[in-house]
Amino acid sequence: MKNQRIVFNKRPVGEPSDECFRLEEVDIPELSEGQLLIKVGWLSLDPYMRGRMNDVKSYVEPLQIGDVMTGESTGVVVKSSSPHFNPGDYVAVHKGWQSYIVCDDNDPRLMKLDLTNGTLSAHLGVVGMPGRTAYFGLNEVGKPKVGETLVVAAASGAVGSAVGQIAKISGLRAVGIAGGELKCAYVRDELGFDDCIDYKAAGFDERLRQACPEGIDIYFENVGGAVTKAVAPMLNVGARVPICGYISNYNDEDITKAETPFHILKSLDSVPEHRFFVVYEWQDRYEEATKQLGEWVKQGVLKYKECVGEGLSQAPSLFRGMLKGKNFGKQLVKIADL
């Protein structure tokens, strides 16, 4: 039995090419005391991974050449030398693009899963890290109040779709921004947003103004660039802007020279309350969020869509596609049947 893994092979300039990734096959080591062997079923692909490929200072260390590509997986324990985990236990673990993972039982990036909260794949999406990002980013940074207007960019994506639906559950008016009429129709008709504006269509700024006649109280930032420039003048006094990411800049050849949402927001006459956040700030409350998200899914008030590719070798091309918005819903790679 061998482990297949994809390692970081070369720093990208702009879009990551195939040469930036290397598929390896390696032996699976014997377990030490307190370790477990996980067979991976699903791998999550997320925009933040692109930032980790740059050799720049960030909230975490950048990837080094030869490192396994960063990422979260879900799978099943197949072997254990730990009293806390048994073969057959389902887990989520943040140990990169691999088909098998050896992990210490006390690793903070390891989490036992209760499948009554959702499927293995959903634990990488709506009830997993993207869902928790939406839950804490909106509630703790956005501080929503009943009757306010929320705008969320990348509204058909894993984080954005959850943000808008949680806002509706909380009594807000939710307006999405997405690319293409198909995604916008899904956000409006399936997810129940009050409106969704196609940023690729002519007259985007005007449509956004029509959708938010009383201005914008919360802007949940996922995109940056032209979208942020359209939203910024419409922010009300006292608005809050949780900054989850700004994918439009991630393939810039030199992101340190990019015009980020921070530059755009700070240039306003009335600068809104805004900050970049990461979901790990609330790691001690993960169980609370996962249970609540799972409950909303069961009630039918939190819906989700998955975009699934097959096989670890396809991860680099799926990753590139996701950075360009080619995915529709949470981008996953199915690694194995479990």
Residue 153 reports pLDDT greater than 60: yes
Cβ atoms of 187 and 156 closer than 8 Å? yes
Residue-level pLDDT at 147: 98
Please give the helix or strand (H or E) that residue 76 lies within, else none. strand 73-80
Q: Residue 257: what pLDDT?
A: 64
Fold of 129-280: Rossmann fold (3.40.50)
Asked if 33 and 94 touch (Cβ cutoff 8 Å), the reply is: no
CB atoms within 10 A of CB 324: 11
Ranges 20-29, 117-126, 186-195, 243-252: which has the least confidence: 243-252
Fold of 2-125+305-334: Quinone Oxidoreductase; Chain A, domain 1 (3.90.180)
Instruction: Pick the more confident residue, 131 or 57.
Output: 131
Band (pLDDT 50/70/90 cuts) for residue 302 is very high
Average the pLDDT over 233-240 and give the result.
96
Residue 250: which pLDDT band, with cuts at 50, 70 and 90? low
pLDDT, greater one: 288 or 252: 288
DSSP state of 86: -
Residue 325: predicted pLDDT = 82
- Asked if the model's pLDDT at residue 331 lies above 90, the reply is yes
> Environment class of residue 81 by beta-carbon count within 10 Å: exposed (0-12), middle (13-18) or buried (19+)?
middle
pLDDT of residue 252: 54
Question: What confidence tens digit (pLDDT) does each residue in 4-50 have?
Answer: 999 999 999 889 999 999 999 999 999 999 999 999 999 999 988 99
pLDDT attached to residue 44: 97
Model confidence at 255, in pLDDT bands (50, 70, 90)? low
What is the pLDDT at residue 90? 98
How far is residue 265's CA from residue 303's CA, in Å, rounded to a whole number?
Answer: 31
Q: Looking at the chain, which residues constitute the CATH 3.90.180.10 domain(s)?
A: 2-125+305-334
Q: Residue 61: which pLDDT band, with cuts at 50, 70 and 90?
A: confident
